[in-house]
Amino acid sequence: MEKTFCIAGPIQPEKHYHLPFRFDERVLLDLIEAEKYFILHAPRQSGKTTAMRLFVDRLNASGNYKAFYINIEAAQTARSNVFTAMTAIIDSIENAINITFGMHDPSLASIAHKKTPTDMSGKDLEQFLRVFTKTSTIPTVVFIDEIDALVGDSLLSVLRQLRSGYAERPKNFPQSACLIGVRDVRDYRIYSEHDKQFILGGSAFNVKAESLTMEDFSPQEIETLYQQHTTATGQQFTSEAISYAFEQTQGQPWLVNALAYQACFRDVKNRAEPITLEVMERSREALVLRQDTHLDALIDKLSEERVRNIIDAIISGNMEPKSFPPDDIQYTKDLGMLNRSSRGLEIANQIYQDVFPRALVSSLIQTIHQKTIWYVNPDKTLNVPKLLQAFTEFYREHADILFAEQPYKEAAPHLFLLAFLQRIINGGGNIHREYAIGRGRVDLMISFGGKRFVIEIKIYRDTNTLSKGLLQTAEYMRTAGITDGHLVIFDRRVGKTWEEKIFHKVETVGDCTLQIWGM
């Protein structure tokens, strides 16, 4: 059977291309030997589960430890019902022990009778881990995945049961334990129905020694992963295609695999045909349009207020000082949606930068009654002035209604323009976006019909907005090697009439001639 790139669930080495173990094994062994309890957190589908399951196999194969891995996501629906959660967790443990050590493992006798919530004590995880350790002739280690799938008292119960037995390690409780999830336990803010208050995860699990995370793929690791497909099938990836994969994904593991899967198993099945930059560009667009589960899960987070406040400011290119709660920033980074660069907070990679705005205006895009053909010149290039003039009219007519409906208030003008452009550009081109908090602008580079042009978006702040915008647009044009540039300035000052806000003129800045659109 031909191997493939993994885009769903944990990697199976016999079925999927994969990178060698992505942790420094010595770090993990040092923590275990030192009898530490620790955290592994990273965004979803970044390789945590695969890495830890492989590591558990290594521990057991060494003969020095008895270790098992469980995924407790099944207990999520129990929410604050501790007994129902314990039922699901005990079931998961029973399955894990059966798979790892066989049905005759002596620890299983301790849970054989626990078949209904009425049989549960609420401390069943703690009790089982004691038996598991006492019946083992070697030190024990436990890995608990999807820990942050639990909420409320169910999560508090698991954390407190682990903490309760901690002092009895290594003879009567696991020598070491690893909790695996999206967020660090210190960032949990758990509401207890029982205590009627919020409790911080760090206080509920104050035995944590260290928090580890997983890095995204480096360019070299992407090349190594893709080379496995080349070795197996003979199908080559050009160097430009590999560079593009890193540029667009910044090494996010699911995106790296999904791009290659789309390219090799959907778009170009002929193994004699190489995967080129052009193929990767098509594959990227297919991913963006399809919005598979990985992307859909992140899009769902855009409606959360603590995420919306930050993403709103980023998409708008807000240059005003912003004081977001540190927990909100950390939460959004833990989800893999953001990173911090020399330019400030920004959306984590080019694909997310494309997906998030599209998702926020997806319904608007569908209801804009515009056709690409209206704006295409005889030579198949785009008539940009005609397009922006049409948008000006659209914006004037619909702005009040659109602002009332759009929860992303700061970024609303940018999103409306992006929706309008997307409706037209989808007919034969693509849009490259650049934005980050503190830049004071949003740069768009659009390719259509073999030509490129720049649109820079700014919000009117003061009398210097135009002069700054002209310099910034000209700088971007020179950097990108583009001669067709447009500066769009949205004037949101209260009391200004449309006649005062709307204008169009041409300016020259050094060797660059560009058009300015006020609205």
Q: What is the pLDDT of residue 183?
A: 86
Rounded alpha-carbon distances, angstroms, from residue 190 to 81, 186, 198, 328, 475: 14, 11, 5, 15, 48
Say which residues have a Cβ less than 8 Å from residue 243's Cβ, sequence separation at least 6.
Answer: 219
Whole-number pLDDT of residue 269: 94
CATH 1.10.8: which residues of the chain? Answer: 219-290
Whole-angstrom distance, CA of residue 244 vs CA of residue 260: 11
How crowded is the C-beta side of 516, counted as CA atoms within 13 Å?
Answer: 26
Angle, helices 239-249 vs 253-262, to 10°: value is: 140
Domain with CATH 3.40.50.300 in the chain: 23-213
Assess if CATH 3.40.720 describes domain 219-290: no
- Report the DSSP pairing between strands 344-347 and 66-71: unpaired
Chain-centre distance for alpha carbon 400:
32
Whether the bond into 170 is cis, omega within 30 of 0: yes
Spans of the chain below 70 pLDDT: 115-117, 186-204, 319-321, 427, 436-440
For 490, half-sphere exposure in the C-beta direction (CA atoms, 13 angstrom radius) is 24
The structure's pTM equals 0.86
* Residue 249 in tokens: 């994904």
Which class would CATH give 23-213? alpha beta
Locate 253 and state its tokens.
Answer: 């593991």
Q: Report pLDDT for 429.
A: 87
Q: What is the pLDDT of residue 198?
A: 57
Contact present, 346 and 435 (Cβ < 8 Å): yes
C-alpha separations of 376 from 25, 384, 424, 476 in Å? 57, 9, 10, 25
Backbone angles phi, psi at 260, to 5 degrees: -70, -35
The separation between CA 367 and the C-alpha centre of its own chain, rounded to angstroms, equals: 28
pLDDT on residue 426: 81
How far, in Å, CA of 487 to CA of 473, rounded?
Answer: 7
Return phi, psi of residue 378, to 5°.
Answer: -55, -30
Backbone angles phi, psi at 123, to 5 degrees: -125, 30
Q: Which residues pair with 192 in a beta bridge?
A: 197
Q: Could you identify the residue written with the tokens 């009425």? A: 118
Question: Angle 129-130-134 (CA atoms, 0-180°, nearest 5)?
Answer: 115
| Predicted local distance difference test score (pLDDT) of residue 517 | 98
Residue in 479, 431, 440 with CA at minimum distance from that of residue 344: 440
For tokens 């798979």, name the residue: 99
